């Protein structure tokens, strides 16, 4: 039965992005490609029927944001309803902004995804294959963890309105331009319509976060592979050369012009690949800078307001409490993942210089023309921290995550004391 359902899901989600993906691109991105296809935000499928579906899905998401805004400014709301409306409105607004930027820079994202299958990314050794597999597994595990929190959160939001004690209640605080209370059929149709709009808007929020992670972790992987290439450059060149010329001893390799030429070609290729990965990272930094600033501000506000809601509703409504708790957990997890992977990129990029230093230059190969200058250039590049900045000013790291959580907690306590 499970196999049958998986086959159905695979057929329904067969995006062109999956069909055109290379093996390593598919390993990192397949799940995200399939989910974005089903939710109407795939940028690789531009045929007519899918384009119509995509326009409808995005229109539904935009409509629910407008209905929330209308409700916020045109209705008299109590504090709890106002906070709930602000929370959902903010995160959906930030999502629409992020998706707009992702669509605008879709060519950059495609280039980043395709870079995983570049022939210049050398994974010829078992160790580097293991490195790639480790980061593929890490990405999939965290992606499943993220979705395992996102889907229950959406299910609770979708069904809670049917289980509470309020008649004709909707899962979302929006303004409907007609009367549906007291009309069962009209209420049912309204509930389904608002639920559909909320589903697409919420899944776009989740998938925007998944897309971001699916491009950060492959960069970590590329730096890790490149570091191993630099560290083992001399040994690999020596093994390859001695396989063809076994009569030449290891201590005589650096005196052989053919070996030196092969080493220099290999070193030049690695330097070129290093620059390519740096360029990819700088492109992603530029794209994510402003959205990440909005994400951080949004996360702090949501942590404060949702934490306040969870505290004040604990004794009043257990369902509302779990709804807020799941929402808060998802928000904090997303913030943690972004900060962690951005810091991991910083660490792995600096490891390139350390790997170049331990690349076997003491064997005498550093005396070859250009080797010493090239190694110094690589080390100098790596010593300059490659830090992701939100809005060009706030570093994304685990220490920043800790600071944001502490700030949110302090503001949350202040809000509680003000309410007393």
Longest CA pairwise span in the chain (Å): 93
Give the tens place of pLDDT for each residue, 292-327.
888 888 888 877 777 777 777 666 666 677 777 888
* Contacting residues for 315 by C-beta, under 8 A, at least 6 apart: none
Tens place of pLDDT per residue across the chain (420 aa)? 677 777 887 888 888 888 888 899 999 999 999 999 988 888 888 889 999 999 999 898 888 888 888 877 776 766 666 666 777 777 777 777 788 888 888 888 888 888 888 888 888 889 999 999 999 999 999 999 999 988 888 888 888 777 777 777 887 778 888 888 888 888 899 889 988 988 888 888 888 888 988 999 999 999 999 999 999 988 888 888 777 777 676 677 777 788 888 888 888 898 889 989 999 999 999 988 888 888 888 888 877 777 777 777 666 666 677 777 888 888 888 889 999 999 999 999 999 988 888 887 777 787 888 888 888 888 888 888 788 888 888 888 899 889 888 888 887 777 777 655
Question: What is d(CA 417, CA 337) in angstroms, rounded to the nearest whole number?
Answer: 31
Q: Identify the burial level of 350 via C-beta atoms within 10 angstroms of its C-beta, where 0-12 means exposed, 13-18 middle and 19 or more buried.
A: middle
Q: For residues 240 and 223, give the distance between their C-alpha atoms in angstroms, rounded to a whole number.
A: 24
pLDDT for 295 = 81
Give how far the C-alpha of residue 254 lies from the chain's centroid of Cα atoms, to the nearest Å: 45
Helix/strand/coil for 126: helix
Evaluate whether 133 touches 28 at the Cβ level (below 8 Å). no
- Rounded-to-integer distance, Cα 86 and Cα 293, Å: 18
What are the residue ranges spanned by the domains of the chain? 14-115+125-419
Can you read off the two tokens belonging to residue 254?
Answer: 């650096």
Which tens digits make up the pLDDT trace of 263-275?
888 888 988 899 8
Grouping H, G, I as helix, E, B as strand and the rest as coil, residue 390 is: strand
Please report which helix (H) or strand (E) contains residue 49, including its range: helix 48-74
- Conformation bin of residue 16: beta by default, left when phi > 0, alpha when psi is -120 to 50: alpha
For 115, phi then psi, to 5°, come to -60, -25
**Is residue 187 within 8 Å of residue 180, measured between CB atoms?**
yes
């Amino acid at each position: 039965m499970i196999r049958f359902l998986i086959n159905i899901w695979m057929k329904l989600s067969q995006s062109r992005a999956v069909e055109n993906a290379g093996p390593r691109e598919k390993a990192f991105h397949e799940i995200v490609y399939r989910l974005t296809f089903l939710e109407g935000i795939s940028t690789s499928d531009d045929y007519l029927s899918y384009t119509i579906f995509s326009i409808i899905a995005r229109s539904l998401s935009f409509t629910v944001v407008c209905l929330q805004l209308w409700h916020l400014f045109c209705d008299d709301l109590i504090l709890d309803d106002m906070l709930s409306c602000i929370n959902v409105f903010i995160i959906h607004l930030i999502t629409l902004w992020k998706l707009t930027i992702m669509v605008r820079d879709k060519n950059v994202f495609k280039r980043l995804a395709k870079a995983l299958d570049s022939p210049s990314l050398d994974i010829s050794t078992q160790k580097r294959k293991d490195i790639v597999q480790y980061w593929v597994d890490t990405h999939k595990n965290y992606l499943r963890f993220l979705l395992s929190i996102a889907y229950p959160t959406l299910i609770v939001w979708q069904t809670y309105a049917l289980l509470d004690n309020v008649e004709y209640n909707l899962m979302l605080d929006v303004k409907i331009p007609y009367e549906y209370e007291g009309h069962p059929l009209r209420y049912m149709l309204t509930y389904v319509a608002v639920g559909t709009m909320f589903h697409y808007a919420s899944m776009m929020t989740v998938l925007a976060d998944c897309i971001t992670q699916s491009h950060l972790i492959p960069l970590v992987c590329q730096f890790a592979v490149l570091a191993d290439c630099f560290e083992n450059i001399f040994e690999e060149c020596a093994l390859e050369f001695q396989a063809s010329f076994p009569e030449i001893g290891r201590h005589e390799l650096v005196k052989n012009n053919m070996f030196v030429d092969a080493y220099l070609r290999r070193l030049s290729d690695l330097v070129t690949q290093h620059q390519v990965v740096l360029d990819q990272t700088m492109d992603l930094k530029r794209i994510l800078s402003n959205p990440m600033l909005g994400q951080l501000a949004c996360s702090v506000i949501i942590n404060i307001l949702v934490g306040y809601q969870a505290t004040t509703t604990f004794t009043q409504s257990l369902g509302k409490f779990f709804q807020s708790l799941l929402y808060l957990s998802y928000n904090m997890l997303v913030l943690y993942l972004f900060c962690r992977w951005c810091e991991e990129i910083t660490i792995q990029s600096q490891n390139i210089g350390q790997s170049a230093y331990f690349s076997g230059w003491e064997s005498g190969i550093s005396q070859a023309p250009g080797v010493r200058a090239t190694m110094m250039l690589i080390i100098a590049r790596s010593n300059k921290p490659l830090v992701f900045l939100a809005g060009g000013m706030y570093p994304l790291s685990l220490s920043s995550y800790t600071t944001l959580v502490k700030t949110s907690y302090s503001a949350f306590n202040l809000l509680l004391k003000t309410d007393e």
